[in-house]
Amino acid sequence: MTFQSVVLKAARARCFSSHLQLARATSSCRCSLSTSASDDLATRHAVAPLHAPVTALTEDESMIRDVARQWANDGLRPVVRKMDREGSLDPDILSSLFAQGFMGMEIPPEHGGSGLSFTSACLVVEEISRVDPSVAILVDIHNTLTNNAIRFWGSESLRNTWLPRLATDTVSSFCLSEAESGSDAFALKTTAIPTSSSEYVLNGTKLWISNAAQAGVFLVFANANPAAGYKGITAFMVDAKTEGISVGPPESKLGLRASSTCPITFDDVKVTTDDILGQVGMGYKYCINILNEGRIGIACQQIGIAKGCLDIVMPYLKERQQFGRAIADFQGVQFQVAMAATELHAAEVMTYNACRLKEANLPFVKEASMAKLYSSKVSEKVASLTIELLGGIGFTQDLLAEKFYRDCKVGSIYEGTSNMQLQTIAKLLFADFK
């Protein structure tokens, strides 16, 4: 009888082990080759379900999620705390994001992207968020807002110019909010005044612009005809090197500290008609459309946070002993995590369903708002509970729970505050009952 148990120290900080002991004899007895387990499997496979469950992933989706998970754990996790403390993004992380293909997820291969589906891109956001939501927001905004806006409405020349760069080396920002226009986004004051038949001049200040410190290009919403109100709003792709642009210092924030959030001033910045995204005066429409689907990405970020919290707290509950036993043995603890997992599952089902509705070209706006609203509430609740269940250590920076607790809060503010989601849901709800 031989016992084998090999434990190896692995590269990539992996631990492989064959948790097995095989007891073998060298007789030449025949084993029965068809087991009943594989028969069961065969019958189960024979009945094709009418609908795949929303949480069941396709082969593409699960491979992509696995790669993102592995990268986040091996490549990102080691620097998360440092980046939070220093309040800045590690440049190596940024180049790795490009190298892995995370910055051009839905950009087609002919433009240097990965050609993924929307759902796959959302799954990547979720997996990165599970380790660091501040890196996830960079990936999310870049992919779901700017890249997609250019894919959907950009002229051929804008697509040819920017998509290959966005996929391989250029970070983008989405510049909508201003000091006096947050929820009331289309009250924006930045102007784009035509100075000739082919030139416009931008003036104004944007606020809260994510990725601004790293960005090589800004998608700027400005009013080209203030007299026409929101119908003057026009979107421009503006090279960050253009004269007259100044990016202010990043805000010092509660959470997402590694993600830069800066004011940007446009002072007589010259742009041309070639830089216009789509048509003049259609900026508000593009904006509404892209944020409608973009907020599904935020919902994924929030789900990622809640899962990241459970990743921390669940093993701890089994390890931590009080009153002579693991605290996981107390029903009071069990019921709290059971409730948290239930709410997380609801948020996940809502969010994945919103992804799938969008991909199926079915109405999804109400469901996307619901998913974002609900998942941001769930992430906050799960992060808070996680800290409580960890006890004193949860309140310290020894674990990432306190960071998740800080990072999740903005989920109910950006890409439409919770009240704005409720407004959208209510509007569409009443329309259903007209």
Ligand X SMILES: Cc1cc2nc3c(=O)[nH]c(=O)nc-3n(C[C@H](O)[C@H](O)[C@H](O)COP(=O)(O)OP(=O)(O)OC[C@H]3O[C@@H](n4cnc5c(N)ncnc54)[C@H](O)[C@@H]3O)c2cc1C
- The residue ranges that bind ligand X (CB under 6 A) are 141, 173-177, 182-183, 208-210, 253, 256, 261, 320, 322-323, 327, 330, 332-333, 388-389, 391-392, 395, 410, 413-414, 417, 419-420
- Name the 3-class secondary structure at 297: helix
Q: Is 16 in the site for another protein (CB under 8 A)?
A: yes
Q: Please, which residue, 126 or 407, has the CB nearer to another protein? A: 126
**CB of 82 or CB of 318, closer to ligand X:** 318
What is the C-alpha R_g of the chain? 25
Q: Which of 81, 88, 86, 90 is nearest to 132 (CA)?
A: 81
Question: Which of 29, 47, 48, 431 is the binder for another protein (CB under 8 A)?
Answer: 29
User: Does 71 interact with another protein (rule: CB under 8 A)?
Assistant: yes
Q: Taking CB within 5 to 8 Å according to partner kind, which of ligand X, another protein, none is near residue 99? A: another protein
28 binds, among another protein, ligand X, none (CB under 5 to 8 A by kind): another protein
Rule CB under 8 A: is residue 27 a binding residue for another protein?
A: yes
The answer to whether 367 is a known catalytic residue is no
In the complex, the smallest distance separating the C-beta of residue 123 from another protein, rounded to whole angstroms, is 11
Q: Is 246 in the site for another protein (CB under 8 A)?
A: no
Name the β-bridge partners of 217: 172, 239
**How far apart are the C-alpha atoms of 218 and 146, rounded to whole Å?**
8
Q: Which is nearer to ligand X, 96 or 205 (CB)?
A: 205
**Cβ atoms 129, 304 nearer than 8 A:** yes
Q: Which helix (H) or strand (E) holds 15?
A: strand 15-17
Q: Could you say which of ligand X, another protein, none residue 320 binds, taking C-beta under 5 to 8 angstroms by partner kind?
A: ligand X
CB of 211 to another protein, least distance (A): 20
User: Which residue in 25, 46, 47, 362 binds another protein (CB under 8 A)?
Assistant: 25
From another protein, ligand X, none, which one binds at residue 182 (CB under 5 to 8 Å depending on kind)? ligand X
Residue 100 near another protein by CB under 8 A: yes
Our finding on whether 47 is near another protein (CB under 8 A) is: no
Which of ligand X, another protein, none is residue 21 near (CB under 5 to 8 Å by kind)?
another protein
CB 229 within 8 A of CB 302: no
CB 216 within 8 A of CB 171: yes
With CB under 5 to 8 Å by kind, the binding choice for 12 among ligand X, another protein, none is another protein
Contacts of 160 (CB under 8 A, 6+ apart): 111
User: Site for another protein (CB under 8 A): which residue of 76, 116, 149, 399?
Assistant: 116
Burial of 39 (0-12, 13-18, 19+ CB in 10 A): exposed
Give CA separation, 65 vs 54, 166, 297, 308, 379, in Å: 15, 21, 14, 15, 20
Q: Angle at Cα 187 formed by Cα 183 and Cα 190, nearest 5°?
A: 115
Rounded CA-CA distance 213/342 in Å is 38
> Tokens in use for 234?
């026009």
Give 115 or 248: the residue with its C-beta nearer to another protein.
Answer: 115
Alpha carbon 109 to its chain's center: 21
Residues near another protein (CB under 8 A): 4-6, 8-12, 14-31, 33-35, 37-38, 42, 59-60, 63-64, 66-67, 70-71, 99-102, 104-105, 109, 113-116, 124
**Enzyme catalytic residues:** 415
